Structure formats: structure tokens, C-alpha cells
A and B are shown apart, each in its own frame.
Chain A
Amino acid sequence: MRGSEMYHYRMRRLVDGLMRVLVWLALVVALIPLFSILGEVFSKGAPHLNMDVLISPMPTVGEQGGGIGNAIQGTLITIFLASIIGVPLGVLSGIFLSEYGEFKLSSAVRFFNDVLSGFPSIVIGIFSYTIIVTSIGFSVMAAAFALAIIMIPIITRTTEEALKIVPLTVREAALALGISRWKTLIYIVIRGAKRGIATGILLAIARVAGESAPILITMGYWRWWFSGLNKPVANLALNIYLFAVSPFDNWRNLAWLSALTLTAMILMINVVMRIFTKEKYI
């Protein structure tokens, strides 16, 4: 090597090594918050965990004890109601995209689904407010409606991808037997993709379980148990927001406990989902 090239080669090696260190450092920096969050939530939430707090409702001012029982109940009811709307719409849309992908309509649906999934959840909350809260008031229905809209694009996308994995030969074999398209789909294709579809639904549930902005707009704070579809319910994520900086120790502890419950639930869904499928969903 010539002298100048030799010098330049050393510089290149130096830059190469430096960048290698920097990109790995980026990974470490990106992972620190994750472990810090998990550690904090666990260490501050776990000490207050017992059977009693899981079945008691939020305490009133000055009242000792209390729990997150009503928030767990409320969160589950809200997710259940949201799923009743969101799952069928999402799965059917996903079926349309995978079965009739050749239609011009499909690429538009796919595009606007992606766009919808990028909307801020608080805007979806306002939308639900203008439609449902203005007619029946702050209620679990309004919250479920907002969450359903958040679920639809996620489920649509994962369903489409799950169905696409079923090999074409399977469909062709069934169609060649003279089985109609819809029967092939329901009895054969969906059976082959049911894991993938279930995963998508779980993913959507995990996502909306942690939503608090639309909950705040559509229900606000509710201290009691479920008492009707036209009334609000309590919510774990909202508990965190409302009580994180409250003046009472036991309220703050319940905020951390809510965070622990929520995180555990979401992590569990994600890990189960990972074990269920090898395929990656964005």
C-alpha cells in the first residue's frame, strides 16, 4: 500500500470500529428504558399485591385500603364490548383483503387502514364523544366504541397476513373438489389460519387494554363497580393517570398496582403470542 493509502486505511479502520461501538451502544440505550420500566413497575407494585386489593373497589378520600377490583372488572368489560364490535369487523375486512386482494378497493382499504392505525387515540376518543357521549352520556359504550375503532385496523392487518400464509395449493385442492369459495374459506382456509387470527386479536386486545386517553374522554373517573352499559366503569390505565400524583399513599400504591397488573397482562399476551406464532407481525 502507498503511504497515503496506508494512513487512510488506518482512519477507515478507526471509523469502522467506532461506528460498530456506536450502533451497539444505541441498542443498549434503547433497551435501558424497557428494563427500567419493568423493574420499577414490579418493585413498586408487587409489595402491595394481595388477594384483597384485587377484589376491592377504589377507596374514597381518607378511606384506608381499597383496591383495583372494580378497575380490573371495568377494563375487562370494556375490552369485551370493544371486541364484540371490533373483532368481527376486523376479521371480515382482513378476509376481504386476502380473498379479494385483486380489487382496486382492496389497496385503498389497506392504505386507509394503515392511516387509521396512525391516528392518535385521543382523537378517536373525541370522535366517540361526539357520537355517543353526546347522546347517552359518559359510558362504557362510548369507551368500547373508541377502543373498537382502534382495534379494527390491527385485526384487519393481522388477519390478512394470517390468511395469506395458508398455501394456495390448499385452496386449489378444495376448489378442485367442487367446494364453493365461501365453504373453502370457512372450513379450510380459516381453520389453517386460526392461530394467526387469534394472535392478531390478542395483539389488538393488548394494545387497547393500555389505552387511557380515549377512556378519559369517554368515561372519566368512575369509583364504583359496573352498573349498566350507559354508565362508565373504572379502568386500570386511567387509574394510573389519575392517582400517580395523588396526595394519599394508598392511592399512589394502587396506581403502581394498576401499572403492574396492566404490564403483566400485556407482557403475557405478547409472550404467548410469540410462542404461538413464528411469523412476525408489524
Chain B
Amino acid sequence: MMGHPYKFEVEKLDAYFGEKKVLNNINMKIRDKAVTAIIGPSGCGKTTLLRCLNRMHEIIPGARVHGKVLFNGVNIYDDEIDPVTIRRKIGMVFQKPNPFPMMSIYENVAIGLKLNGVRERKKLDSAVERALKMANLWDEVKNDLHRSGASLSGGQQQRLCIARALAVEPEAILMDEPCSALDPIATEKIESLIRNLAEEYAVIIVTHNMQQAARVSDFTAFLYLGELIEYGTTKELFENPKNPLTEKYITGRFG
């Protein structure tokens, strides 16, 4: 890829559910090969912002977007852009693990490649192995790849979903509170996985857990009532917040 300094550039982004405006004039640039956390109280629009980055917001009936999101310098909301090709390049992991229960572990990971026309068994095998290894799941499942994806534990299911997103070799990973349904041990595994992923990808994670943001992210954005209140390096935002609202939030005085 050409050397754009930023993976995403969000410009004057507004988002709506029907008549209700949930994001107001968001401007932010997101770096490649780093973890960016989006924090804020529930209902502040952080999930919506995440879903605007891969055009998932618009699949909800009545949902609209105004403004630009540049991905590698190209506006993904351009009329000529097919959202299908955008989503193919940007992986997404959801709040609750959502593996396909009617498919085996192997098929769950391979589905993205199969959609894109990869049929060769060898290619699929190696891609599945690679993705499962990256997701730190390989050692736990390599002997029963043909078991149902639904037979795994919650934490394993979430890592399976991460592997599924990684298998198509995306350029960025979006994670929507990926640990909110998991226990502390599973959470720890996912967090260390996130750090590893940042060596190769732009990782954007939505979380309501400030400790988690502080632990895993390089940059943090604080969102409140649909507005981007503060955005900077995680260290600075937590140690030296410029906006009194941010300070109130991270010191736990509201939210």
C-alpha cells in the first residue's frame, strides 16, 4: 500500500438513526499498526462510530451517514465504492461471540476465503492454520477442527471469531467490546492477542472499560453524547486530560 500516514481519516462525520442524530461532526485520524481505543459512557455513539468505519452502520434500517471516512486515502462513502469490498478489507469482531453454529471450526475460519473464491484445499488449510495461530487458538483446537464452532467455550468462540476475521487478511480490525461477555482469564488472552495484532494491523477497539483501554491501546478517543471530546495518546489522555469532561469520566465521577 502507498504510504498514507493514517489508516483511517474521519472527516465531518454525522450519523443518524432515523431522525435521531447519534454522531455529530466527528473528525479523527487513526494510525496504522497501533491500537486505538474508543471510550465513553454507554449510548455515547462509540459503537456507531466503529460501525461507520466499515459501513456496517447503514445495514440497520433507517440508519444514515453524512461525511467522509477515508480508508488508505479513499473515501469509503464514495458513490462508486461497493461496501462489500470495503468490509472484505476491514475485519470486525462483535460484542458477543457469533460463530456460525451450523459450521465446523474449520469452516468458520475458511468461510471468508471461500466467499472470495478460494477453493484450493491446500491454500485453505494453510490460511486456516495461520489465522487460528494468530488468534492463539490453534493449539487448543488443532485436533478437532471438524467439531461445531458452537461447542467451544465463550472465550474460545471469541478467538474463533477473531480468527475468522483474520483469515481473509484484512488491513484493519474493528472490535466492539470484544471482552464484555467473557470472564477475566479469557479477557486477558484476548487483550494480549490485541497487542500482538497491532504489530501488523490498525486495531480499533470500543470499550466501556477504561482500565482495558489504558492496558491495550496506544491512542484513545473519548466520546460523549455523539461528540468527540478528546483524542490523543493513551498516556496523555489518562495522565493529563485537557478537557474537564474527560477528566471526570476517567476518574469515574460519571458514566
Q: Which residues of A contact B (CB under 8 A)?
A: 1, 4-5, 7-9, 11-13
Contact = CB atoms under 8 A, between A and B. Distances in A.
Contacts of B115: 12
Given A1-B85, A8-B117, A12-B84, 13 more contacts: A4-B117, A5-B116, A5-B117, A7-B117, A8-B116, A9-B84, A9-B85, A9-B116, A11-B117, A12-B115, A12-B117, A13-B82, A13-B84
A3 to B, nearest CB: 11
16 contacts: A1-B85, A4-B117, A5-B116, A5-B117, A7-B117, A8-B116, A8-B117, A9-B84, A9-B85, A9-B116, A11-B117, A12-B84, A12-B115, A12-B117, A13-B82, A13-B84
Contacts of A12: 84, 115, 117
Contacts of B85: 1, 9
B111 to A, nearest CB: 14
A7 B116 CA distance: 10
Contacts of B116: 5, 8-9
A1 B88 CA distance: 10
A11 B119 CA distance: 15
A44 B88 CA distance: 57
Interface size range on B against A: under 10
Contacts of B117: 4-5, 7-8, 11-12
B211 to A, nearest CB: 40
Interface in B76-112: 82, 84-85
A229 B85 CA distance: 73
Nearest 9 A/B pairs, CB to CB: A8-B117, A5-B116, A8-B116, A5-B117, A4-B117, A9-B85, A1-B85, A12-B115, A9-B116
Contacts of B82: 13
Nearest to B116: A5
A16 to B, nearest CB: 9
Interface in B96-155: 115-117
A62 B85 CA distance: 75
B110 to A, nearest CB: 15
B159 to A, nearest CB: 26
A1 B115 CA distance: 14
Nearest to B117: A8
A249 B122 CA distance: 75
B57 to A, nearest CB: 21
Contacts of A5: 116-117
A281 B115 CA distance: 38
